[in-house]
Amino acid sequence: MSTWQFLTSDDENEPIYMLGKIYLISNSNSNSNSNSNSNNLQSFQEDVYSRIWITYRFNFNQFDNSSLTSDCGWGCMIRSGQMLLAQALSIIKLGRDWIRPKILSESNINSEYTTILNFFHDIPPSLFSIHRIVSVAQKKFMIPIGNQFAPSTIAFAFEALSNDFGDDSPVKIYVTDSCLIFEDEVEKKCGIQTSNTTTDWKPVVIFAPLRLGLNHFNVEVYANALKDLLKLPSSLGLIGGPPGRAFYIFANQGNTLFYLDPHIPQEFANDFTNVKIYDTYHWDSKPGRIQISNIDPSLAVAFLCQTKNEFYNCCYDINQIANRNSHTQILSTMKTRPDFLINNNDTSFEIQEFEIDGELSSFAIL
């Protein structure tokens, strides 16, 4: 694995915040920093390589009531969402410090790692497969197969699948509405009861679909708050990207966002007994980079809370960010849903069409 050299930019001396870790990296690749939270470029590179990369696939089994055997051209938001959720499961099952061996063999492959990838295998029985995602979106949200998803669509599809599997789901999913996290709703979903009897907390991924501008991302108003959210220990990054495209954005360095790109078609991974297949789920090069000013205003941030204490700390951190940006806060929490929002937690969608690069595309809008 060759060492990356980053181009000089205004952000080069800023720390990189990545999924709860901090990396101090410069073009000189100095290793003399004694801060225990700092790592060198090689450590950052290994961390990026260990993230699960999910892309367009072709030649998989066709969807029900459809002849489509590929998601090329329309599945980028689904794939970006799968990547984000895969990172959550990786942290839950393998730990945040897990690094994937560069060369896999039957002797060093981790069974939990293979379990995670199987959750996203492109076959109908897999819990978070693209087949199940488009099926639940079609049945519950009336979204035709082959339509591009909005960030909110994939978040609610994950929540529906997790709910359908109940206690067999490896993670709970909670999706915000009105830019608010209602703490008692998360507590109920994860097992905390209001009586004297309590149950074990189930890990939860909290999705927060946001719109941070009208036609363009409003940098002056929202950039600082968004970057602060990405710095949190509980951050899973965000799904979004430039208009008409979706990436999994997992880290930032100042105004520079790092992403994994799903827009690379690969053959259906049909044989998980072949360890070489697992290499197609990892990106062995520099991650993509995009300036925060160039992203679409419609996106979804996400957080992982494995324990109730992590959840309460996450809520505290989010509210601290909201207080610092009181005139432009983008997300906050409340203990319970107020009466005037009691009927505002339904998940209904409409299909709208937008012109992208001269072509008309349909999107599901919450």
Sequential DSSP letters for 254-283: TTEEEEE---S-EE----TTSGGGGGGGS-
Sequential DSSP letters for 58-126: ESPPPPTT----B-TTT-HHHHHHHHHHHHHHHHHHH-TT----SS--TTT--HHHHHHHHHT-SSTTS
SS3 of residue 246 by DSSP: coil
Angle of the 308-324 helix axis to the 183-190 helix axis, nearest 10: 160
What residues are labeled active site?
76, 261, 263
Show Cβ contacts of residue 4 under 8 Å, excluding neighbours closer than 6 positions. 41, 45, 286
In 3-state terms the chain splits into helix, strand, coil percentages (rounded to 5) of 30, 20, 45
Rounded to the nearest 5°, which phi and psi values hold at 283?
-95, 115
